[in-house]
Structure 1
Amino acid sequence: MNNQVLASPIQHTYWKQLNNNSQKSFDVATISAVFDGTLQAQDIKVCLQKLLYGVEILRTHYHLDELGALWQNISSEVAVNFIELNWQHLDEIQIAEQKNNITNELKSCGSSTPWHRVVLADMGDTCWLYLELSGINTDAFSLNYLLDLLLSAGNGNLKQSLERLHEDIIQYAELAPWLADFLLDDDLLDARAFWTKDKSIAGLQQPFSLQRYMHASTIESSTRQYSFASVELGDVFDHLDSYASQHQATVAEVICASLRLSLTKYSKEASLARVFDSRGDSTLAEAIGPLSRAVPLFPDVSDSFDIAVENERDCSALAIDYSECFAKEHAHENDGFTFIFDSIDRPSGSAATIEQVAYFPEAFKLQFMLITQGNATRLQLTYDSDFIDEQALNYFLTSCKSNLVDHIQGNKISPPPSYKAMGKQVTTGNDVTVLKSFERALNIPDAAVTQVGGDMASLSDINASANRLAHYLIGTGIGKGDAIALCLTRSIEFVIAMLAVMKTGAAYIPIDVELPVQRINTMLQDAQAKAFICQGDFSIEGCQAIDYSALELGRYDITTPDITIGSDDLAYILFTSGSTGKAKGVSISHKALLNHMNWINQEFSFKPQDRFLQRTSASFDASIWEFWSPLLVGGTMVIAPSEINYEPSLFRRIVSEQHITRMQIVPSLLEVMTEDSFDGYEHNLQTIFCGGEALKMLTARRAQSVFNCEIVNLYGPSECCIDATFWRFNERLITDFVPIGYPVNNLSCRVVKENGTEAAKGESGELQIAGDSLFNGYYHQADLTDEAMHYCEASQINYYKTGDHVRVLADNNLMYLERLDDQVKLNGFRIEPDEITMLVLNAGLAEQAKCIFSASSHNLSLFIIEAKASATEIMQMLKSVLPEYMVPHQLIEVETFPYLSNGKLNKRALADWAMEHSSAGYVAPGTEIESKLVVMWQELLNISMSIGTTHDFFAIGGHSLLAMKVV
């Protein structure tokens, strides 16, 4: 026979969370303890039977009626699940395994039947007692109270234990209506108003910079478990207790105040919800059942720990008065607080020590359980293993204890170990340049360079031509210390010229022949280029032109020139956008180039059988390894036409027909190329390298699915010779973007916070890089070089300041966040908007100017005040000196610039003005096709602005890659 009673609000909330978080195993609550001595199994069994008979909540299960009301069903009888074990013959490791097996036997009992289990294990001098209940029928206090009754009974005090189960015991069913009244009584409106909606929501979904960025197991896994860890506080308990007494606070309040300060390091606005129960009335002091609930508390976090404890104490008093009146908004009933604190108090000197408590008041991410038991006091942390992993959790717990000790002893907080990551330290052997590796590859059969739809040449033939060209160049006076520009399209001839210049001891400067002549002229003047190699009629003022097509190389020596090259000599100079109004020449040494090439060739096991796609413009550093890897491992370099970047069908055909095994691609292009499957195209891809932009997780996952190959995210500024860090994509990744990973060989990284100190795990700051791949400086721009570097006195190491804001993940990998300055990456191109600004100002075309990049519209806008020339003339000047991707999409004349209260330019306001300007002259779509195009553009551009028929797709953020999607 069953009695039916409406469930309490606490039970109703638990039920909803239980049934909406079916992947979480928190429907069972457990507590275990080690008892110093012998326990009588029969007495414990008798006490357990009396408990089940006398306490109705232990015989309660639940059901929902047709109206959605939750009812408690109180059974008249329930079976006793008592297990007695003998572990006297087992060692510590075996006992630990047995305990683990028992706790892992937890089955989802649901709430349709009452559930309990008691295990008693005799370990010789000690005993282990384990209690398991339906989670909806208990709370931490009840678990501890029931455990005490059973321990007392087993320790020869059965009579006293039974006396505590008197007839007048308050049954939980009697309390349910009383608990409901707190949420309905009109006299308690003010108390309920204390818990504002904002407070409830703020504690729910909170970011945590140490949280897991990959699933604990494969993404198909449906089981998500809570795990446990703990830190001993017994060694500091006396200090802790003394500090609490001096400040008229409880030990729990002191620890809570300290935990809040620790959490703010990893969660800026961390809200630590605390569990309070309704046992303040003496008549309820020993009431068994779920009388506890987590409530959001927001005490002010102060730099003074004494004040922080005082604030915690004051908030606790309010929570004790008002906790019964707390209820989440209906829309958030299913959501759990991210961080929760609960506690169990036990007498010092007890013969029993609590080992573990598993009680889940709701679907939290981290639960702190303070188990106060004198010198055996412990802080247990129960955590969602899909939210944070064990390594990060242990790091966090250690940090929490360290901070607590510093707080109560009045010490300055000891900073955690700062992040310093160092790639594998390897030697390059006797090689000084990449040329030695190239020479060793000459004897590999089938090593070649091929142009799609054009010529093919073996490496030995290319080497012979390069030697002849090198001798010709040396004959013209070119040698070590010189800089020679390569104004050639990507071709076999470019490869020959690149090798030839290096063989002379000079540095080569790859130049994009599509750039405006004036920009090329400026770059070569800045580099003081002695000559440039071109094909056909091509002239640069003040620089010797060498027409490759007119040379008769057959009459020059075929042997390798006898030139000694040092590791610090320059291998190449690469020009990137600069904030001073002109491009900067990044000078890279042979040592840097050799270090990078050795790393990438070895890390990814490049081999002669590999076929490398060469598709990146030679003027970008990402192209460097596309040229050199096949030359050094004796593979095949496949030089693709530039159209491959804009024609998906051509891309698929070349990758398939050319049997490409390794290729590099910018994420935005990869996204376009994976829009359609590779059905009908066979491919041999083994690795796709991404770089130049932030790689979205969904893009990487889609690419891995389409190509069934490894996806690698590469990160590195040109100043660090192509790549500084890397991360192999893992399908378990759960973040929006792919991490940039860990340093390559012989490079070290550190992250510096805004205050100048080094960041630790979970913190963020500017990424700084040092090591063998570092550039020699900006060519003939010593002041700019000095600004870009930071010398660390402590380590005596020179670091390059990347200007990139990154976060240190718990496993020491890095996640890119944003730029700290105005530099942007637009479709893989590195742009300094201030270069465009300075061009206008230096030319005297405006009184004031500012070029900005708008993330929402994904384009450049140029604002000017008091123009000295027409808009057409200004744009013509910019087009004559800038590459197409750097020309602003719109020029906007304004009377004044918006400024913030601190005097800084309000760039967000300018971005809004740019968007408004784009919407000027709006004409609504008039046909069905125009309306469909508007929706398509809004989705592709990820903007909500009103798009009309007069809008230019490219002026509002579109680019060639997105245009391909429209087509």
Structure 2
Amino acid sequence: MSRGMTTGTAAVEGAFAGTDGDDLFSGRPVHRIFAERAARHPDAVAVRAGATSMTYAELDDRANRLAHLLRDRGVGHETAVALCLDRGPWLPVAVLAVFRAGGTYVPLDPNDPPARRDLVIDDADAALVLTDGPVEVSGVDVLDLGSAALDAAPAHAPDVADDPRRAAYVIYTSGSTGRPKGVVVEHRNLTAYVDGVVRRLAIDRPMRFAMVQPLTVDSSVTALFPPLCTGGEVHLLRRETVLDPGRFADWVGEHGMDVLKIAPSHLRALQSSPRFEELLPQARLVVGGEAADWRWLQALQRARPHCRVVNHYGPTETTVGVLTLAVADHPDADWDIAPIGGPLPGVRVSVVDVHGDPVADGEIGELVVAGPYVARGYHRRPELTATAFALGRYRTGDQVRRLADGTIAFVGRQDDQVKVNGFRVELGEVDAALRAHPAVHASATVVRDLSGERAIVSYAQTGATPDELLTHLRARLAPHQVPRAVVVLDRIPLSAHGKVDRAALPVPPEPAEGAAAATDLERTVSSAWSAVLGVDSVAADVNFFDAGGHSLLLVQLQQRLRDGTGQPVDLIDLLAHTTVQAQARLLSGRHPGLATAPAGRRTPQQDALLRRRVQHSRTIRDAR
């Protein structure tokens, strides 16, 4: 991993506004801070995951032993170690072990298609993949932590010198060229962020943090490291739990939760449940990852007056987040979209024009960030790094304006990067994957408002069918990148300047009619589908995900089916029964549980989640 990042000069930094905090960098990486906590409070609970809990002493011991195994396998200074792990007990062990061995972790999503995982492994030049179950990867050694011989390894930490400029992790984000790009975050960046967010959120005692996002999304960093550095607990909640309001509320009722960081679209999906208030945190509710409706945030604050509701903003390139806005601090504000707030300690921000000169308050400009949170750059992308990270600053590409009180308000993007359901997507990467199909001659990808929801739609000049193209894309893209619809055109419309005429791209047609609902129960299920998908009718034999559904809409469907039938229904069962007909049979009691083969084909996302569920019991048992 290349070095050579420049730092900001005094003249450049003088143009920035920010907050005090230049002395916040203590020089100690987070794994050292955790070790100090473990020495002082060895018997305190550090991690809860399913039926498993680990104390600080147990987590410290396992991380040390695994670190020695990694050293024996050649892991050293900035050796990339890929982590293909669910949110389970092995995840914090693996992260701390990689740090203590001197390596750099590269998260992989077990639900991504193998082709995408292989692309990340290859670009990062990963020497090893750590997993907690079977995983399909190519050309790299795999260590299944469930069978690792930890007991034979030394219990003390390896003798590895700390280096604040060593890469802590590389997170891959969507790339406009068709290949995801890896953001290299150093230990000094990570420590600065943890220190800054602990101060800003006033984490003044050990608190219980719920981690509801995968490690591939850097928002998860907020739920992982701050509690381990302050004596708190990390609650690792699996996907099937955080998407099911009932299960989520059950967990909170049993174990409690003080801090929750979550994407607005995810929280809104959970809000459809009558148990919504049961799953809200006691002390801090942090939303981030996409724009949030201001009046909705105000309503959340009123519903939870003792809990601080905070809007948190920041690109991966600035180590998770750099701006926050506390809702309670603006009781009389009347905004439509919540502003993204003011800088964290040590962060300096500027709003500049196309020439890099500061603009006046109220004028629109690009947000530029400086300070210790700014990452090293993009892995193996020197030209892109030089453009985006010039003079130690990061040009976000986000269009903002500074309000009269100094608060920053988000306006939009300068490029084709979008946020869909909290995930960052470069439309160019979707286009590149589409053009990789041999029958596609030209393509365009946009975000449209479909049934009141932002959705990715692709257009292709091709002789292939939409179903063929969607199958092609699902094998290459992460689930959140797959378009809601692919529209086949005779020709992609162009403007007089030869660019894609986006205004001339047609609205996707309604899905073709299929089998009609034949029973009262099928009609009840079909009605719930129509309400969730925002359509007049649905075929009884179409796959929910092919009809435009996704995991967050499935949460809403679950609640509507419960309300409409009066029967409990598990989210994992809905993932296994993905047509109106199959769900009606499930609800009728003819084919209960997961043993029934679902009608219709499943998407790779469904298959991956179901496989991980089967492995769950063994993983928890082996981690004890």
Q: TM-score range by the shorter chain?
A: 0.7 to 0.9
3-state secondary structure, aligned to 2:333: coil
- Matches of 1:922 and 1:804 in 2, distance apart? 43
- 1:154-208 deviation digits (Å, cap 9, x = unpaired): xxxxxxxxxxxxxxxxxxxxxxxxxxxxxxxxxxxxxxxxxxxxxxxxxxxxxxx
Task: Please say if residues 918 and 955 of structure 1, whose CA atoms lie closer than 8 Å, have aligned partners that are also in contact.
Answer: no
Q: How does 1:819-858 map to 2 (within 5 A)?
A: 819-857=413-451, 858=454
Give the superposition deviation at 1:641: 2.2
Is 1:947 aligned to 2:542, yes or no? no
1:397 aligned residue:
none
Is 1:734 aligned to 2:334, yes or no? yes
What is the one-letter code of the residue matched to 2:423?
F
What is the one-letter code of the residue matched to 1:726?
T
- 1:244-285 deviation digits (Å, cap 9, x = unpaired): xxxxxxxxxxxxxxxxxxxxxxxxxxxxxxxxxxxxxxxxxx
1:771 aligned residue:
371
The 1:520/1:676 distance shift into structure 2, 3 A limit, reads closer
3-state secondary structure, aligned to 2:475: helix
Task: Please say if residues 84 and 131 of structure 2, whose CA atoms lie closer than 8 Å, have aligned partners that are also in contact.
Answer: yes
Task: Please say if residues 805 and 816 of structure 1, whose CA atoms lie closer than 8 Å, have aligned partners that are also in contact.
Answer: yes
- 1:14-57 deviation digits (Å, cap 9, x = unpaired): xxxxxxxxxxxxxxxxxxxxxxxxxxxxxxxxxxxxxxxxxxxx
Larger deviation: 896-905 or 606-615?
896-905
Task: Please say if residues 449 and 639 of structure 1, whose CA atoms lie closer than 8 Å, have aligned partners that are also in contact.
Answer: no
1:893 aligned residue:
488
1:918 aligned residue:
510
- Please give the TM-score of this superposition, normalised by the length of structure 2: 0.79
Task: Please say if residues 88 and 238 of structure 2, whose CA atoms lie closer than 8 Å, have aligned partners that are also in contact.
Answer: no
- Matches of 2:56 and 2:536 in 1, distance apart? 54
The 1:844/1:589 distance shift into structure 2, 3 A limit, reads same
What is the one-letter code of the residue matched to 1:720?
T
1:805 aligned residue:
399
3-state secondary structure, aligned to 2:320: coil
Larger relative contact order (CA 8 Å, sep ≥ 6): 2
Task: Return the match for 1:758 from 346, 349, 358.
Answer: 358
Task: Please say if residues 924 and 947 of structure 1, whose CA atoms lie closer than 8 Å, have aligned partners that are also in contact.
Answer: no
Is 1:515 aligned to 2:112, yes or no? yes
Task: Please say if residues 206 and 227 of structure 2, whose CA atoms lie closer than 8 Å, have aligned partners that are also in contact.
Answer: no
What is the one-letter code of the residue matched to 1:625?
T
Q: Which protein is bigger by CA-based radius of gyration?
A: 1
The 1:767/1:429 distance shift into structure 2, 3 A limit, reads closer
2:4 aligned residue:
none
Task: Please say if residues 845 and 874 of structure 1, whose CA atoms lie closer than 8 Å, have aligned partners that are also in contact.
Answer: no
What is the one-letter code of the residue matched to 1:960?
S
Give the superposition deviation at 1:788: 2.5
1:576 aligned residue:
173
Task: Please say if residues 674 and 702 of structure 1, whose CA atoms lie closer than 8 Å, have aligned partners that are also in contact.
Answer: no
Task: Please say if residues 421 and 742 of structure 1, whose CA atoms lie closer than 8 Å, have aligned partners that are also in contact.
Answer: no
The 1:886/1:720 distance shift into structure 2, 3 A limit, reads same
2:499 aligned residue:
904
- Matches of 2:22 and 2:356 in 1, distance apart? 30
CA RMSD for the aligned pairs? 3.0
- Matches of 1:549 and 1:952 in 2, distance apart? 35
Is 1:540 aligned to 2:125, yes or no? no
Is 1:702 aligned to 2:296, yes or no? no
Task: Please say if residues 441 and 462 of structure 2, whose CA atoms lie closer than 8 Å, have aligned partners that are also in contact.
Answer: yes
The answer for unaligned runs of 5 or more in structure 1 is 1-417, 792-796
Is 1:632 aligned to 2:229, yes or no? yes
Task: Please say if residues 834 and 851 of structure 1, whose CA atoms lie closer than 8 Å, have aligned partners that are also in contact.
Answer: yes
Q: How does 1:60-75 map to 2 (within 5 A)?
A: none
2:23 aligned residue:
427
Give the superposition deviation at 1:682: 9.0
What is the one-letter code of the residue matched to 1:579?
S
Give the superposition deviation at 1:733: 2.7
What is the one-letter code of the residue matched to 2:501?
N
Give the superposition deviation at 1:718: 0.7
Q: How does 1:608-757 map to 2 (within 5 A)?
A: 608-675=205-272, 681=278, 685-708=282-305, 709-730=307-328, 731-754=331-354, 756-757=356-357
The 1:538/1:683 distance shift into structure 2, 3 A limit, reads closer
- Matches of 1:690 and 1:473 in 2, distance apart? 36
Task: Please say if residues 437 and 469 of structure 2, whose CA atoms lie closer than 8 Å, have aligned partners that are also in contact.
Answer: no
Task: Please say if residues 627 and 637 of structure 1, whose CA atoms lie closer than 8 Å, have aligned partners that are also in contact.
Answer: yes
3-state secondary structure, aligned to 1:651: helix
Give the superposition deviation at 1:607: 4.3
1:441 aligned residue:
37
Is 1:816 aligned to 2:410, yes or no? yes
What is the one-letter code of the residue matched to 2:154?
D
The answer for unaligned runs of 5 or more in structure 2 is 1-13, 561-624
The 1:580/1:681 distance shift into structure 2, 3 A limit, reads closer
- Matches of 2:25 and 2:538 in 1, distance apart? 64
- 1:509-540 deviation digits (Å, cap 9, x = unpaired): 11111111111111000000111112344353
- 1:396-421 deviation digits (Å, cap 9, x = unpaired): xxxxxxxxxxxxxxxxxxxxxx9842
Is 1:464 aligned to 2:61, yes or no? yes
- Matches of 1:679 and 1:553 in 2, distance apart? 41
1:862 aligned residue:
458
Question: What fraction of aligned residue pairs are identical, expressed as a percent?
Answer: 28
- Matches of 1:631 and 1:705 in 2, distance apart? 30
- Matches of 1:922 and 1:876 in 2, distance apart? 20
